[in-house]
A and B are shown apart, each in its own frame.
Chain A
């Protein structure tokens, strides 16, 4: 009641102007103001592009050693082309959020984008966020597109169109502690059963030190678990494309990966560990074995970051019943935002950052690249620890080209296939969890058809 009275009084005070009329006029004014605002905004952004489009390039990169090296070399690019590069840098999750918001809105304030082909590649390509680079990659024969390894190239190609250039590759290797193995009188494990026995012996003989540590958070663990899955003869999907995480092979792999952590892992193990937490346990000297991506090796060998820098060794992933089958994947690539108004310069930047010379220089600093010629060049692996270079060579030979299910909705799929891992880590029934996860994964596959 009170509100109604108030309303009448207001219209009385309005010099007798009809309420309806004034509301209408108000709406008109509001619309006019909004339109004017929009027009102004459009003008300013249009003007900005006209002035600086050719000179300034906006590049969005992830936190990575690769990014640090590129940033140091940017003055060279500026000297060569006269283009100023503005780098925006984010952690993996924040980077995904940035892309989600900006690309969804069709924003053109990203020109070059660093993205994960296996995580977001299919989604971005399907949404037409990534510009078609098919003609660009063929335009310069000295830059040599054919030099890029076919596996990585496959994952940056969508429906026969090239949408990205792979920059960083990753293989899973086994990090281990030479001193602990020596003390226990053990050889480097060649098979999964050796690994289990060694982890058992070391954890029993050294109180406070875990025999084995690995990622435990269910999404983060999926990629490192994938090599266990392949080595046990399993796959995410069978040849007909049906979900196959409930096969005996997959169940055995779940049990091995999770069981190693449950039985010989750190006490009070949390199920929130991604690589940074697991790596911290290893580099603090609290674990003997740790399967992880080779691209992170400097965290373990850098004296300032690691207490075990002198005693860390690297070995190929131990063999399961199906042999040693680690993943060998392109973890990052560069693409061009389809909404960018500066595509020519964006391509110049990609061409510069992925040239043979740059790839070699970056690989020398410890970031594995995707160019075959660099791997064949002795200088390409000269700076690596010897055992790591050997382990990588084995991984690239037997490697499987994906470390997670090849679907569009990767984050959702990772949560589903990761559930049995967590179940095994916490000592639950991982077989039952795999049986429960399989139909859910199948549902997701069906939905994407």
Chain B
């Protein structure tokens, strides 16, 4: 009681006392609320929907069906498992090519040369283009009848290729588009890593008579490992989730034979085309778990090596 006498008990001071005592919650609150609203609640809602037979409208009556949706999805060999296969084929194909090309370009740009700044800007250009616009552009270039790609092949006497319209060639063509667009980002990351390296180990190796390849493989690459892992993580998450260029070039369902239908495209079709919200949610939850498992593998392996 004596405390109140020495300090006027206005609303403001009591609030400020309270705020002082809880400052860590107070400062974290905006971020926590946003995470809750935008990530946790939608995730929980999806998890809930995945255990119901919701279809047509989410406001319509729906029943709890337990794991039936998951069972249906996991035993579906016509759409789901091929989509899983395509997702990983696309991701791994794009990732490997992007890392190899990215590393080559980063090494070339590493040492200063004339006109370096212009070359760097030019190489980064695909990165700033909007993916949907990129998809539209390549769709025109790869058009089997009026596209530029087949005309170019015609000049050197190669017969026209189906590119995006072929059942077997569509996904590799899209991997090419992804590589075209995202290799610059890998270059950017690797270049940042390279610039931060000290010259000394490389110099020491050179004095010891190591060849260029040996210097790269045994000195530069191991030093760059954590940067490479960052590049792998960022690109693989992005590539797994790719939707825009697939949808912009092949539309709903990933083409007439579902030839480019990855998990994301499949879930979109289930939800927006079929209005099968229960099954779509189950696919998304499985997809989510797959991504988490992959990320855990990458980071776990990294920790294991470091120790």
- Which A residues form the contact surface with B (CB < 8 A)? 10, 14-15, 17, 22, 25-26, 29-30, 33-34, 93, 96-97, 100, 103-104, 106, 123, 126-129, 216-219, 266-272, 274, 281, 284, 286, 408-409, 411-412, 415, 418, 422, 426
Are B165 and A30 neighbours in the complex by a CB distance under 8 Å?
no
A96 CA / B56 CA spacing, docked (Å): 13
Q: Output the least CB separation between B188 and chain A (Å).
A: 32
The stretch among B89-97, B205-213, B246-254, B297-305 that forms the contact with chain A is: B246-254
For chain B, the count of residues having a C-beta within 8 Å of the partner chain is 36
Are B59 and A268 neighbours in the complex by a CB distance under 8 Å?
no
Are B165 and A268 neighbours in the complex by a CB distance under 8 Å?
yes
Given the interface pairs A97-B272, A123-B275, the reply to whether A268 lies near B56 with Cβ below 8 Å is no
A423 CA / B242 CA spacing, docked (Å): 28
A244 CA / B150 CA spacing, docked (Å): 41
Are A271 and B255 neighbours in the complex by a CB distance under 8 Å?
yes
Q: How many A-B residue pairs have CB under 8 A?
A: 92
Given the interface pairs A22-B25, A30-B29, the reply to whether A270 lies near B144 with Cβ below 8 Å is yes
Q: Mark B212-253, 1 if CB is under 8 A from A, else 0.
A: 000000000000000000000000000000000000001111
Q: Output the least CB separation between A37 and chain B (Å).
A: 9
A218 CA / B253 CA spacing, docked (Å): 10
A123 CA / B255 CA spacing, docked (Å): 24
Contact check: which of B25, B57, B146, B162 meets A26 at CB < 8 Å?
B25
Given the interface pairs A267-B160, A268-B144, A271-B255, the reply to whether A104 lies near B59 with Cβ below 8 Å is yes
Are A411 and B273 neighbours in the complex by a CB distance under 8 Å?
yes
Minimum CB distance partner of A103 in chain B: B57
Q: Can you list 9 A-B contacts (CB < 8 A)?
A: A10-B24, A17-B21, A104-B59, A127-B56, A217-B256, A267-B160, A268-B165, A272-B165, A411-B273
Q: Output the least CB separation between A142 and chain B (Å).
A: 37
Q: Output the least CB separation between A332 and chain B (Å).
A: 19
Minimum CB distance partner of A280 in chain B: B146
Are A271 and B256 neighbours in the complex by a CB distance under 8 Å?
yes
A126 CA / B57 CA spacing, docked (Å): 9
Are A96 and B272 neighbours in the complex by a CB distance under 8 Å?
yes
Minimum CB distance partner of A411 in chain B: B273
Q: Output the least CB separation between B3 and chain A (Å).
A: 15
Q: Output the least CB separation between A277 and chain B (Å).
A: 8
Contact check: which of B32, B56, B250, B271 meets A123 at CB < 8 Å?
B56
Which 4 A-B pairs give the minimum distances between C-beta atoms?
A270-B165, A268-B144, A127-B57, A271-B256
| Of listed B25, B57, B164, B167, residue having the most chain A CB within 10 A | B57
Are B257 and A129 neighbours in the complex by a CB distance under 8 Å?
no
Q: B129: CB under 8 A from chain A?
A: no
